[in-house]
Every structure is written in C-alpha cells, then in structure tokens.
Amino acid sequence: MTKAVFASVSAVVASLLLVGAAAGQEASSPELIARGKALVSRHCAVCHAVTTTGDSPNPSAPRFRRLNERYDVEALSEGLAEGLAVGHGPMPEWTFPPADVTAIVAYLKSIQERGGPPLTTPAPPRP
Ligand code: HEC
C-alpha cells in the first residue's frame, strides 16, 4: 500500500519536472505548436482570426498571424502568464499555466507572416 502511494507521488513529481522542462524549452516541437493551436482555437477564436487565413470575427481584435507587426510575440508570454488583462477592452482575463503559455507562444510564432523582431514599435512595457 505505502509503496503504491510512494510510486504515484514520484510520478507526479516526474510530470511536474517534465512540465518545467517544456516551459523552459526554446525549440518548438510540432506537438507544442498543435497544442497551442488547440488552445487558441478554444479560447480566442470567438474574436481573433487564429489561423493563417480569414479575418477576425471581432474586427478590432488583431489577426494572430499579424501580431508581429505590432508586438514582440516572444514578449507576449509574460502578458499571457499574467492573464492578458491590461487594456484589452472586451478581452476576458485568463491565466494559463506556464506550459500552456509556451504552447500558445510557440503556435503564434509559427503562424507569423513576417519573422524576426517587430517592424514598428516594440510591445509597450508591462506595468
Ligand atoms: C471577447 C473577444 C476576445 C477574446 C475572446 C480574445 N481577445 Fe484578444 N483582443 C480582443 C480585442 C478587441 C483586442 C484589441 C484590443 C485593443 O486594441 O485595445 C485584442 C487584442 C489582443 C492582443 C494584442 C495585444 C494587446 O495588448 O492589445 C493579443 C496578443 C491578444 N488579444 C491575444 C488573445 C489571446 C491569446 C486570446 C485567447 C486566450 C484572446 N486574445 C482572446 C478581443 C478578444
């Protein structure tokens, strides 16, 4: 009995370590990108164009594939982790676990029409 409990505790610890490793990961795997796509399709697609085609259902919500024009997509991970609440008008407030943020950012990066740093002004500093 005791042995079984111990085994499941170490399984939990092992999976936490895996999540931590995924969050710190630089390279984005196809699995990570697919998970990010699923997350934004579920949570964001009511307002944003979340794929490589189409317009946003809410015209004032930026199309995700064009985010790079105004924001440093990498820097978004910070905002996402904090819930993206600040100054987003009708946007509801979310808090994603770090592994989800990593997946969403990996997906967003994968669909940007222009690579590299933002062409215009960088993302405004978060308070
Ligand atoms: C209810 C509609 C709605 C939903 C749902 C929504 N957004 Fe938005 N989002 C907006 C609007 C409108 C703007 C433009 C706000 C502005 O320009 O002030 C925006 C702006 C943004 C921006 C631009 C950054 C910024 O500071 O303006 C990002 C990034 C973003 N949304 C990400 C997301 C993500 C990720 C999700 C899903 C987790 C999501 N949004 C869900 C409506 C929405």
- Cβ of 61 closer than 6 Å to ligand 1, yes or no, is yes
70 lines ligand 1 (CB under 6 A): no
pLDDT tens readout for residues 2-41: 454 444 443 444 344 344 444 444 567 999 999 999 999 9
For the CA atoms of the chain, what is the radius of gyration?
A: 17
∠ CA 54-56-60, rounded to 5°: 145
State the chain's mean pLDDT as an integer.
72
Q: How far is the centre of ligand 1, averaged over its atoms, from the C-alpha of 53 (Å)?
A: 17
